[in-house]
Structure 1
Amino acid sequence: MSNVSADLIWEVTRLQNAYLVKRKTQGAPQFSRDPLNLTNLHSRKHAGFVNPKAIGILPNGEKGVQVIAKKPAAANKPASSLYKVTYTTTARKTYKAVARQAAKNYYRPDLRAAAVARVSAIRRAQRPVKPEPPKKLRGAAAKKAAAAQ
């Protein structure tokens, strides 16, 4: 894989690949199911299977997130080309750690904002849902309900 440029791989696979989600309507955005794609948009910048440096963020059970990143040096070794880090600390510490990991040594600083947004969305989805309080009756309906009791 390292002998072939990422641009050539993208040009060959951009219209047909396993991660592409095609839409029937003309002009609709195309999406990607690539686990190393932070925005799920089908584009050269965000395609994780093409880029030698890619970051993916997945939920880790009920709490926490798992960050998956490619090792550029291990492009020829698929079994050891990914490393995973799990964060289960507070949300603020997780955002800071993910931002630091994305921008560390110029890894992918262009994806730092997308990585933090993805972590934020996952953490927001993992929060417990508060039950809605019962609706208070007002006006004539409240008087009628009070008279009935």
Structure 2
Amino acid sequence: MATVPGQLIWEIVKKNNSFLVKQFGRGTASLQFSKENNNLYNLNSYKHSGLANKKTVTIQPADKDQAVVLATTKTKKQNKPAALLHKSVMKKEFSRMAKAVENQVADNNYRPDLKKAALARLSVVHRSLK
């Protein structure tokens, strides 16, 4: 089974998908946001898209108190959605969680371009748990 390139998927879904939220700003400028699971900034762009990229990062609050879930996609399980995510629950203090996210995202060369976005999302999620 052949896989479809991410650029082609992005060209198909960038203007019309179920996760797209369009808002009108000042004048004729419109803002496009996305409600995708694997989109750290919730922006409708190829770089941050969870649909078009094989390697994605998700940071969400866990069910238990003061815990955060860091989920990354497995690149070899793209055709098996049930086994797609590798989840790890972090119950540490914030500085240790930030170091773990930094190691997982940037230092392991998983997606170094998403390091800043992942740390920003971790900060917001951790602040919401207090």
TM-score (normalizing by structure 1): 0.79
Residues 2 and 21 from structure 1, CA distance in 2 versus in 1: closer, same or farther, beyond 3 angstroms?
farther
Q: Which amino acid in 2 is paired with 1:106?
A: N
Per-residue Cα deviation, 1:32-63 (whole angstroms, up to 9, x for no partner): 11110000111000001110000011111431
Partner of 1:67: 70
Could you tell me which of 50, 54, 59 is aligned with 1:57? 59
1: CA distance between counterparts of 2:9 and 2:17? 11
> SS state of the match for residue 106, structure 1?
coil
Partner of 1:135: none
> SS state of the match for residue 95, structure 1?
helix
Contact 2:10 2:51 in 1 (8 A): no
Partner of 2:103: 100
Contact 2:69 2:89 in 1 (8 A): yes
Residues 69 and 75 from structure 1, CA distance in 2 versus in 1: closer, same or farther, beyond 3 angstroms?
same
Partner of 2:5: 5
Give the CA deviation at 1:102: 0.6
Contact 1:35 1:57 in 2 (8 A): no
Give the CA deviation at 1:105: 3.0
RMSD (Å), alpha carbons? 1.6
Where relative contact order (Cα < 8 A, 6+ residues apart) is larger, the structure is: 2
- Tell me, yes or no, if structure 1 residue 79 matches structure 2 residue 82: yes
Contact 2:41 2:48 in 1 (8 A): yes
Give the CA deviation at 1:24: 4.3
1: CA distance between counterparts of 2:97 and 2:36? 22
How many residue pairs match? The answer is: 127
Which structure: greater strand fraction?
A: 2
4+ runs of 1 displaced by more than 3 Å?
A: none
- Tell me, yes or no, if structure 1 residue 35 matches structure 2 residue 40: no
TM-score (normalizing by structure 2): 0.90
Give the CA deviation at 1:77: 1.5
